[in-house]
Structure 1
Amino acid sequence: MYVSFNPYRTLGMNNVRYIKPESMFQHIDEVKQAEYVLFPEYWQVNTIFYGLKKKIFPSISTYHLGHTKVEMTRVLQATFSENVPFTLIRANTTLNREEILDTFSFPFIAKDIRNSMGRGVYFIRHENDFSKYCETHEVLYVQEYLPIEKDMRIVYVGDQVIESYWRVNEQHEYLTNVSQGGIILYDHVPLKAIQLVEEIARVLNINHAGFDVAEVDGHFYIFEFNVFFGNTGLRNPHYHQYISDYLMKEGSVLRPAN
């Protein structure tokens, strides 16, 4: 039996018992008996994985590394540095603000460390824009601006890429998200971009994420990956089957230590 804390993500899967996240402790025996615990909320993850020693999906590294842009960017800077746009992550201090302004030329991009769907992305054209950003952010996440009109969403589930497409938005200066007006095109997603995502997922033990990838002069950059990606661009209606097949493979999911 599987226990799921997210009915939308496991819709159509067999042998799944749905439990509301807030009711976990009222059903703790069922959680303990489950073969896998699927899609817990982030506040549940450490208790289920480290405390109850349960196998979870997505993997523990997917949750931890995908929790904020800070976590994912730092690990990518350490492992795939050539595929990360130049980025500074700093506490919001006077010295650090000065360092950023001395380092970056306008325009550049600033971001919330937790957000999705194109929200929390700021196009910094001049110093006044940056000052406004600093007024509301304790952590400064600043990235070089890449002049692109489209990027790729590459979806990795289990141990494989299950979908890839371009997101094009000619009406926006710096966002291609479908939620921000981006148009989905499925033609000619570069194989090398797909292979890069596959390599990153394997190295970092990520098994459920939508990767945002840009191409500039034939070079590929990872903006971020979203653990709970939207399903708008998935052409295969049997998304849950990829999860079921993956979970059935012996030893595929990272096991807790005994």
Structure 2
Amino acid sequence: MLITFNPFRTIGIPNVTYIKPENMFKEIDKIKNAEYILFPEYWQVNSLVYGLKKKIFPNISTYQLGHNKIETTRALWATFPKNTPYTQILSRDHVDIETIEEEFGYPLVAKEIKNSMGRGVFLIKNRQELEEYIDKNSILYIQEKLPIDRDLRIVYVGNKVIGAYWRIAKEGEFHNNIAKGASYDYDNIPSEAIELVKTVATTLDINHAGFDIAVVDNNFYILEYNVMFGNEGLRNMGIKVEEYIYEYISKDFNNPNNPNTPKYFKVS
């Protein structure tokens, strides 16, 4: 039996039982007997993995490293520093505005540490805007402004890249997010960016993420990755993410070294 805590991301996957996250402990016996848990909320992850020893998808490293921009960035600093834009993570209590201005200049990019779809990402053009950002955020995430008007969204599911496309900002706009009015382009995807995402995902043991990649002078920079990425761009390509999830967990179940392989999974 499979259990999902997010039915919208598992539509089309067979033999799935939906449980509302808030009913986790009321339905604990079903959860204990499940072969796989799909898309738990972050607050559930530690109890499921470390307490109940359950297999989850996305996996534990995907959740923990993708929990916020700080966790992601520190992991990238340790493993792929050349592919990470210049970034400072600071405490508001110890911030020196003049040092930020000296290191980054204007404009610079400031982000809330946990947000998506372009929300909480700000183009800071002067000291007043920087002070307003600092007043509203106890942890500061300051990043260099790269000279781009588009970025790549590269989606990795299971153990492979399943789709990639450009996100192009509206003329004169800062954000490349589709939710902010950007457009899609599916042509001329650089193979080097695909290989970078494969390497990063394998190194960090990530199995469900949308990577945002900036290209500057043939260099590739990982802006961030989102665990719960939007699927519209993939649907336009005829790609159904749930089919790749099913393929991936099915192969895991059919691994002869896995004693919990359910008989109903058959992989062609």
Which TM-score tier does this pair reach, normalised by the shorter chain? Answer: over 0.9
Matches of residues 22-101 of structure 1 in structure 2 within 5 Å?
22-101=22-101
Residue 134 of structure 2 aligns to a residue whose secondary structure is helix
Structure-to-structure mapping, 1:86-235, within 5 angstroms: 86-234=86-234, 235=237
Q: Tell me the distance in 2 between the aligned counterparts of 1:110 and 1:239.
A: 31
Q: Which moved more, 1:212-221 or 1:99-108?
A: 99-108
RMSD (Å), alpha carbons:
1.6
Structure 1 gap ranges (5+): none
Name the residue aligned to 1:2: 2
Aligned pair 1:241/2:243, yes or no? Answer: yes
* Letter in structure 2 aligned against 1:241: E
Gaps of 5+ in 2: 259-268
The one-letter code of the counterpart of 1:47 is S
Q: In the comparison of the two structures, how many residue pairs are matched?
A: 254
Identity in percent = 52
**Which has the bigger relative contact order, CA under 8 A and spacing at least 6?**
1
Contact kept? 1:90, 1:96, Cα under 8 Å: no
For residues 58-78 of structure 1, give each alpha carbon's deviation from its aligned partner in whole angstroms, at most 9, with x where no partner exists.
010000000100000110011
Per the TM alignment, residue 216 of structure 1 is displaced from its structure 2 partner at its CA by 0.2
Say whether the 8 Å CA contact 1:246–1:252 is kept in structure 2.
no
8 Å Cα contact 2:150-2:168 kept in structure 1: yes
Q: TM-score, normalised by structure 2?
A: 0.91
Once the two structures are superposed, what CA deviation does each residue of 1:20-61 show, in whole Å capped at 9, x if it has no partner? 101111110111111110000011001101100001000100
* SS of residue in 2 equivalent to 1:44: helix
Instruction: Quote the offset at 1:251 in angstroms.
Output: 7.6
Q: SS where residue 214 of structure 2 aligns?
A: strand
Q: Cα deviation per residue 1:84-130 (whole Å; 9 max; x = unaligned)?
A: 00000011124444432232111110000001001101111111111
Which TM-score applies when normalising by structure 1? 0.95
Distance 1:94 1:252, change over 3 A: farther
Q: Is the 8 A contact 2:38 2:58 kept in 1?
A: yes
Is this contact kept in 1: 2:170–2:183, CA < 8 A? no
